[in-house]
Structure 1
Amino acid sequence: MQIFLETDRLTLRRFTEADEDNLFELNGDPEVMRFLNGGRPTPRDEIRNEVLPAFLGYYERFDGFGFWAAVERFTGQFLGWFHFRPREDGEIELGYRLRRSAWGKGYATEGSRALIRKGFTELGVERVVAETMAVNLGSRRVMEKSGLTFVRTFHQDWPDLIEGSEHGEVEYALTRADWQGANFCQGGSE
């Protein structure tokens, strides 16, 4: 197991082909997928032939960036994943997808803060961005607790209509300078 990062409660490690079942279960929960595609489960062959190969491909193309399996340190239970990856415009995007059983326990904030810290202190990142549907209040709260601030609301065309999409998407961001000036870089609490 190649550990990328550890926090008080999480281990973020590289995905392997053995994670197919974990991703299938995660992407099979309608509530987990609600703000992504309206709640449709991802077929196993799509996990095997598209999702997992895309995750694994990041490790070869981008040193220090990509998708990371989130595992509870003390139980070894797969909780979901985080991504910290370059977008087409060169900015670094933060994202996460966790099992419902992990919601509301601070895991998303803990993992996000750790990735942001690593990005600013070790990977030369200057700005981190994150996006979600405007109506996804849980994800927006994680972004705020991780130090990101609201930038804008925007609308984009999606192939499938998702409940709440008429309210648009929101973008949050955090610069290295703002992070250094805040309590987050000293490990401040929520």
Structure 2
Amino acid sequence: MITTTDRLILRHFTEDDVDALFLMNSVPEVLTYIPMAPMTERAEAEKLLHEVIFEDYRRRGFGRWAVEHKASGKVIGFCGPKYLPEFDKVELGYRYLPEFWGQGIGSEAARAAINEFKPRLGIDETIALILDGNLGSMGVARHIGMEVLRRDTFMERDITIFHKWL
């Protein structure tokens, strides 16, 4: 376990989370502002878990964290750090299933996550890359004290880069 809040547990992903990863990456509504096609096979989630998430844990000592809803015991999204070599910075990224949008869960998890960055990981600066139009994610970034750093492009999409010193 990484940390907890009143409603959430942030923890490392495990093999048991493949179905949750598949779900959050197969719902088109969730991927509206994510530059990827929806997953269509569970094997894609297994590959993501092993070749990206677990590889980040091995290589960097950190990576995206599963967000588990205490009341249901289910993984409802992710929130956590990922090193982005294109920017030479650690990004705070987050994604949730639609039924949990608009409940303050994004801000709750993001605040808990960045509170762990410096003491647990030695990370003293973070960014968030947010695609144009993603007002929900921009709201989370602002709510946790991030400020607009600049406009840019990433994966051929226009983005706003938010920034925060920790």
Fold similarity call, TM over 0.5: yes
Question: What is aligned with 1:174?
Answer: 164
Question: What is aligned with 1:16?
Answer: 14
Give the AA of the match of 1:97. R
Question: What is aligned with 1:162?
Answer: none
> Structure 2 length normalisation: TM-score?
0.90
- Computing the radius of gyration from Cα coordinates, the structure with the larger value is 1
Q: In the TM superposition, what are the counterparts of 1:148-163 in structure 2 within 5 Å? A: 148-156=146-154, 158=156
Aligned residues: percent identity? Answer: 31
Single out whichever of 134-143 and 82-91 deviates more from structure 2: 82-91
Question: What is aligned with 1:132?
Answer: 130
Counterpart-to-counterpart distance in 2, 1:17 and 1:79: 16
Give the AA of the match of 1:69. A
Displacement of 1:30: 0.8
Given candidates 59, 76, 79, the residue that maps to 1:79 is 76
Question: What is aligned with 1:188?
Answer: none
Paired residues of 2:149 and 2:163 also in contact (CA < 8 A): yes
Counterpart-to-counterpart distance in 1, 2:120 and 2:35: 34
Q: Find the residue that maps to 2:123 and give its secondary structure.
A: coil
Unaligned runs of 5+ in 1: 159-164, 177-190
Unaligned runs of 5+ in 2: none
Counterpart-to-counterpart distance in 2, 1:142 and 1:105: 11
Aligned in 2, Cα 1:136/1:110: closer, same or farther, shift over 3 Å?
Answer: same
Displacement of 1:75: 2.0
Paired residues of 1:134 and 1:153 also in contact (CA < 8 A): no
Aligned in 2, Cα 1:99/1:157: closer, same or farther, shift over 3 Å?
Answer: closer
- Residues matched between the structures, number: 163
Aligned in 2, Cα 1:156/1:87: closer, same or farther, shift over 3 Å?
Answer: closer
Q: Find the residue that maps to 1:36 and give its secondary structure.
A: coil
Aligned in 2, Cα 1:46/1:35: closer, same or farther, shift over 3 Å?
Answer: same
Counterpart-to-counterpart distance in 1, 2:96 and 2:5: 16
Question: What is aligned with 2:58?
Answer: 60
Question: What is aligned with 2:106?
Answer: 108
Runs of 4+ in 1 over 6 A off after TM superposition: none
Paired residues of 2:9 and 2:69 also in contact (CA < 8 A): yes
Structure having the larger proportion of residues in strand: 2
